[in-house]
Amino acid sequence: MVRSRQTRVLFLNDMERLERTLFRLEQGFELQFRLGPTLQGRHVQVHTNYPAEGEKFDRLKFWPLDWINPTGREDDSDKYCKLDLQVAGSYQYYFCAGNEEKTGSGYIVVDPVLRVGADNHVLPLDCIAIQTYLAKCLGPLDEWQDRLRVAKETGYNMIHFTPLQKLGMSRSCYSLADQLELNPEFSTEGKNYTWMDVDNLVEKLKKEWNMVCITDVVYNHTAANSRWLCLHPECGYNLVNSPHLKPAWVLDRALWHLTCDIADGKYSDHGVPAHIENEHQLHMLRGVLLDEIYPRTKLWEFYQVNVEKAVEQFRKLLQAGGKAVRLENEDKKRLRILPDPHCRRFGNTVDMTSALETFIPNGNEPSSIQECCNWLRNRLEELNVESYKEMHYHEEQATNCIVGNVVYERLADHGPKLGPITRNHPVVCGYFTFPFEDNLTFDQEMQLMSQTDKACHFLAHNGWVMSDDPLRNFAEPGSNVYLRRELICWGDSVKLRYGEKPEDCPYLWAHMKKYTEITAQHFAGVRLDNCHSTPLHVAEYMLERARELKPDLYVVAELFTGSEELDNVFVTRLAITSLIREAMSAGDSHEEGRLVYRFGGEPVGSFVQPSLRPLVPSIAHAMFLDVTHDNECPVQIRSAYDSLPSSAIVSMASCATGSTRGYDELVPHQISVVKEERFYPKWNSEAKPSSAGEVNSQSGIIAGKLALNKLHQELASKGFSQVYVDQVDEDIVAVTRHCPSTHQSVVAVCHTAFRNPKTYQYRQEVPPMCIPGKIEEVVLEARTVERIAGSYQKDRKSINGLPDHTLEIREHIQLHDSKIVKQDDVMCKGRSEFVQEIEFEHLSPGSVIVFRVSLDPKSQELVGVLRRHLVQFSDHYKTGSMPDNNVPAILTTTLAAIMSKVTLADMNVLLFRCDAEEQEDGGGCYNIPSWMSLKYGGLQGLMSVMGDIRPKNDLGHPFCDNLRQGDWMIDYVSNRLVIKGGALGEVGKWFQAMFTYLKCIPRYLVPCYFDSIIVGAYTTALDIVFNKMSNFIQTGSTLVKQLALGSVQMCGVGLHPALPPLAPTLRDVPYRLNGVTNEKEQCCVSLAAGLPHFAAGMVRCWGRDTFMALRGLMLVTGRHLEARNIILAFAGTLRYGLIPNLLGQGTGARYNCRDAVWWWLQCIQDYCNMVPDGVNILMCPVSRMYPTDMSQPQPAGTWIQPLYDVIHEAMTRHIQGTEFRERNAGPQIDRNMTDEGFNVEAKVNEDTGFVYGGNRFNCGTWMDKMGESDKAHNKGIPATPRDGSAVEIVGLCKSTVRWLVDLHTHGFFPYATLTILSDGRNISVPYEEWNRKIQENFEKMFYVSHNLQDPNEKHPDLVHKRGIYKDSYGASSPWCDYQLRPNFAIAMVVAPELFTVERAWEALEMAEKKLLGPLGMKTLDPDDMKYCGVYDNALDSENFNVAKGFNYHQGPEWLWPVGYFLRAKLYFAKKMGPEIYDKTVYLVKNVLSRHNIHFERSSWKGLPELTNENGQYCPFSCETQAWSIATILEVLHDL
């Protein structure tokens, strides 16, 4: 199977602690760390303890990773550091930002690679089929091979041995007497076997049988009779090193003596006989405990203070003059009690400093001291009473636990029914070892507690605690588990006490390290026994030692934490490869099927995932067992008939699977890890059913298990990675495994038998099944049947199974030969659905039938051909591909070659176009009836939806459902392009040809292959788009490229040309044939203001929006020719010295904005500066539509002027002053404006050089909201008139004048002066003088000084913030001048010479503090009384300030000003010095990262017009706005 290099990307975010998140990776993967939005721009260093090349792993040794910046630019949003993962294990990473020590961290787990066979081939983890053996039941080592052959002949490839070490006296497989010694029982007379003999056997199994061997490691306890424990009692929890356990030990001994007394009949007259049989006797036992045992032990004394002793000590201190100053608000609660470190009765003491602070005598006389001592005595007695009450609470809980234990062991039906209380079967299991004679009295035993040489041997047993925190050690101080009798105790084992590090218990750590090394030396993997109770740091240390010897150590564990998050703590810290899961945990067949789906595999028909994708959390790899070796027997819990179907369900899981020895042989009882002493049967192919010591393929379900294990391994090795589970009825489960490259399936239909068919009536009728595709064969059919072989008799020597049950099995047969299937009918649903309907005849409880299914031959061929054509996008499709013998001509050329002829203008059609644009062409965006319309008609509309569906494989999404139901969406994609003709038509034909195959494959595969086609086409289109753009874009970051797509998104050609015609003599103008008139017409690209509201028709083109966006979307991206055409087209519409606000193709233009002309002039300047030989544009011919103000629209070519003349005219009209009334003034062009608002004025102040204009009834800048509400009485009133001199217009004017002076100096502009008519005579105004006036007056008039006596300040009473720049100067409402808005930053960018550096920086800092939001800039200071940050254009109310969206520019956060703000910050930060510049770069990157995230998440793939306050979504905003994208792209260009 072809597989490309897999790369996963982990995004790092500030303060993100992911220690409880599991990230699994495979060897050979590349892991990239990238910065998330919270870290962009900060100096981040990633550290890891993954070993550097050539070095050994050291958990405590971290090293920094180097950053790789693919672009090599300051914009390093794509930078990453990486790890090439070649070594299995658990590895930690952390990262620091700046000087912070650690700002985030987590773990990654790299899976091991297992190898078997003489050729050392890989055994994939999902291929594992494991069988557990109790080592003590294998007999002498020289007989193991005969017994283990059962696993080989049953198809297992991994053996799990319980510990092979010498066992303790309990004979439990997990109670080890010596961790270093091989169990001597494996040796025979005359032959003493060693670990090397075990190693030889393991190696033989690996090479000859292709089997991996693993074994348990037990770190948490050792056998109570371990000899080394007698020599090193410090290795356990005893009364010397753990004196906090003394009260629990005292209670434990009291309970032992209670056992003796009850067994001897001493409590019979109390109603507690030795044989407890009813509730009354239990009640009496409870009374004995509470009334006699606890009072005798006086356990509360261990937590109390000797009052008289403490008071006397206090008295002496007072008499000696001891004093402490009473602190305010201190009372007697301040008294501190110090616990006795030796835990003696009345051993707790008083912190006398706190006593002196708390109890202060009124004088030095004896009576005052006595009074003070009495206060202390009373308080201590109160505290002693509290200790007594707390102990009583513990005693009640202990009583409940003791009585509950008695109920389970002696009365419960599911318990062991131990019978009478005896010394061998005590009331409760002892919690501590007592290695001395049992004839001591209770009081004599209490004396031993103070004898260190004796007390050190009273060791706490191990066990487990129901619902306890697995990360807490229940034997350590702070836990009352032993005292409250909450431990379910293993009386044969002692809990080991490691401490925190090897130095805390050197012998134990060294001993267990050697044990670990022996295990790792001889076995390929380990099972961590009792993992959830093993101290994490211990297991971590030991596994590190093991991996030093066996780098690809396979680690399995069974966890009982009850929480996936807690499971992850163990999995990530210990690098657990597989967690054991059990089918027996399922209460019914539905739950069993759900477990199959849960533990591995993708849904059938899943999408192809990219090889480079985000690293997402995963669940632990599962080892799914039909039953574990320490759980109840399925034959007893369910029925013998369920063994086969449940095994089949498990075997179909896409993960490691397995069983325990005895399950396949139908052993009808649990094989006890403690009590079982018999041996497993050996393999003998000739064995008879009655032969207890031998088994063969006729025994139990062995033959079926062999077939299932083979099938399981085949499915995993051949890539059947997709899973579907179908609940046919309440007892029948069908599991499908599907290969996504060959599209073969294997379907297992399993009739479970959780209840015995002999005693339970199952449904007679089995529902028919429809299986898509062609059934090639029945892989196997089998059912459990009875045979005559005698009834079950438990053998004394061998672990024997039910002899009277076997399998009736047939393998690899044709469907018509099946005994389970009654008949099959072939059905065709449409042209691509080939389905076989199966009717069952003998699918009885306990039956299994497995089908191998292929696509029908025609579908198989079509899928193969389709994959062959997809290889051009990825080698992934080579597997399963087939040659195309009848390849259409269009498919003989690669799509990249076809698309290379598509222009960027046509890419707008291919990739984008919203519904309004599509409707203009007579169509619309594709609508999914049960859901919604796509955002675009082009490929991005599809990609935005599929981008959400693909990572989650959300095949139930309405989008996928629509694809499965019919060809409507498929035809839409191709037909939409074919009808366009030209290069786009060729792309459409390519889609048509590909879709011809797609339409004829099974419908469940259509979504994934449709996705593959669209993704391939989309990525090809993007490559071509970027290759047609500037070098800045081609070599830019992902964010740069995303933003550059905004150029394609916004720039297009509609059905009707949006721009007026250019001069006929102008070269390189695009033409097309008009579809209606069949005449040639210009088809220049126009720039939409925003989508979806300003996309088509009259509202598409706006002068202001076009030229605010043109630099970023066209010049920065390298679309110079199209930018030139737009500049010249608008130049042709100049009238009154202004550029239209709403273009209306020129003939329907409105000249009601004062700023558009200045943005147009700024773009011409940018064109000259950014485009090679850009000044040549000044000589280009302009076809004037309105040669004079009063002209009717003139045909193209009637009046031609060079662009420099048009520029000069615009400047002249302003210096002269222009006043006019809009044509057709009235409600026909604006239904809200008052009559005065139609009067337009634009002039230049002769003293300051500032452009000014407008009036209080219109709004001639970008803040152009006109009131619309009659209810609120704001109709016809502009919210933000900004009349006078708007700061950004003054800045743009200054930029233009300065530029024209420079152009004239270099001979590119013929005019040095402007000539105006004043008082009947011509006056010359030099451009140089105009430039000077603005320069001299700007800060005088616009800067709000800190000087309260500033002579230039006309309205000091209106100043509410200082150190800022006014938003306007000379407004009709003077207070508007002083409002803090973001517009001054525009002037800073285009004319930075106007600003003093320090003043500019202070103003920008204020803007950052008050105006900067997550994505945009607040349009008004939040401190302003007019501020309202939520824009709702639909809300009509009586509120003047917000009705009908009146607050459009009074607080909502617009995105485009952020671009100018950040550019201004960067410019002036450089002037402020390197330290400030570095901080500013961090700010810029951090802000841009938020835009990056919005871009990635946006289905429109753009940046919005605005947001509500604090970045909240605004439903009335354009979803993607040209100037928003453009100005952010400009920031990156500056950066």
Q: Are 1304 and 1311 in contact (CB under 8 A)?
A: yes
Q: Are 134 and 147 in contact (CB under 8 A)?
A: no
Q: Which of 552, 626, 630, 1105 is catalytic?
A: 630
Phi, psi of 114 (to 5 degrees): -95, 140
Q: Are 135 and 173 in contact (CB under 8 A)?
A: yes
User: Facing residues of 236 across strands?
Assistant: 496
Report which of 880, 879, 824, 881 is spatially closest to residue 851, judged by C-alpha positions: 824
Burial-class residue 1091 by CB neighbours within 10 Å (0-12, 13-18, 19+).
Answer: buried
In sequence order, which residues have a C-beta less than 8 Å from that of residue 281 and are 6 or more positions away? 271, 272, 273
d(C-alpha 263, C-alpha 274), whole Å: 5
Q: Are 357 and 327 in contact (CB under 8 A)?
A: yes
Helix 536-549 to helix 506-522 angle (10° resolution) is: 40
Q: Are 842 and 784 in contact (CB under 8 A)?
A: no
Buried b (16+ CB within 10 A) or exposed e, 604-620: bbbbbebbeeebeeeeb
**∠ CA 567-569-572, rounded to 5°:** 105
- For residue 788, count other CB atoms closer than 10 A to its CB: 7
Q: Is 795 a catalytic residue?
A: no
Q: Which two tokens stand for residue 339?
A: 């616990």
Q: Within 13 Å and on the Cβ side, how many CA atoms surround 607?
A: 25
For tokens 């018999």, name the residue. 678
For tokens 């103003």, name the residue. 1403
d(C-alpha 125, C-alpha 113), whole Å: 8
Q: Are 1417 and 1458 in contact (CB under 8 A)?
A: yes
Q: Which two tokens stand for residue 217?
A: 């490691």
Q: Which two tokens stand for residue 337?
A: 């009690």
Cα torsion 944, 947, 953, 958 to 10°: value is: 0
d(C-alpha 649, C-alpha 178), whole Å: 40
Q: Is 58 a catalytic residue?
A: no
Please name the amino acid found at residue 352. Answer: M
Sign of CA dihedral 979, 984, 989, 995: negative
- Answer whether the bond into residue 883 is a cis peptide, omega within 30°: no
- Answer whether the bond into residue 1002 is a cis peptide, omega within 30°: no
Q: Are 634 and 754 in contact (CB under 8 A)?
A: no
- Percent helix, strand, coil in the chain, to 5, is 40, 20, 45
Q: Which two tokens stand for residue 897?
A: 């070659």
CA–chain centroid gap for 657, Å, is 28
DSSP character for 687?
-
Q: Outline where DSSP puts E strands in 1395-1513.
A: 1417-1418, 1453-1454, 1506-1507
Q: Is 529 a catalytic residue?
A: yes
The two beta strands, 525-528 and 554-557, are parallel
CA–chain centroid gap for 51, Å, is 26
Helix (H, G, I), strand (E, B) or coil at 1239: strand
Q: Which of 511, 532, 629, 957 is catalytic?
A: 532
Report which of 10, 49, 59 is spatially closest to residue 31, judged by C-alpha positions: 10
Q: Which of 111, 529, 567, 915 is catalytic?
A: 529
Helix (H, G, I), strand (E, B) or coil at 1197: coil
Q: Are 608 and 1011 in contact (CB under 8 A)?
A: yes
Catalytic residues: 529, 532, 630
